[in-house]
Structure 1
Amino acid sequence: MTGTLILVRHGQSEWNLKNLFTGWKNPGLTDQGIEEARKAGQALKAKGYQPDAYYTSALSRAQRTLDLMLEEMGIDNVVIVRNQALNERDYGDLAGLNKDDAREKWGEEQVHIWRRSYDVPPPGGESLKDTAARVLPYYRAEIEPRVKAGETVLVAAHGNSLRALVMVLEGLDEDAILKREIATGAPIIYGIDQAGKRVSTQEL
Structure 2
Amino acid sequence: MEVFKSVCKRKLSISDEVLSEWQKKIEEQYSNRHYHNLNMIEKKMEVIREFTDDETLSCALIFASIFQYYHFDGKEDKVQDNCDEFKLFVEQAGIKDTALINRILRMLQDSTLTDDVEDFQDDVDIFKDLELVILGSSNEDYNQYTRNVEKEYSSDNDDSYKKDRLKMLKTLLMIPSIYSNQTLRDKYEGTARTNINMEIEELEKLN
Band of TM-score, shorter chain: under 0.3
TM-score, scaled relative to structure 1: 0.26
Q: Quick check: which one's strand share is greater?
A: 1
Higher relative contact order (CA 8 A, sep 6+): 1
Higher helix proportion (structure 1 or 2): 2
Q: Which has more radius of gyration? A: 2
TM-score normalised by L of structure 2: 0.26
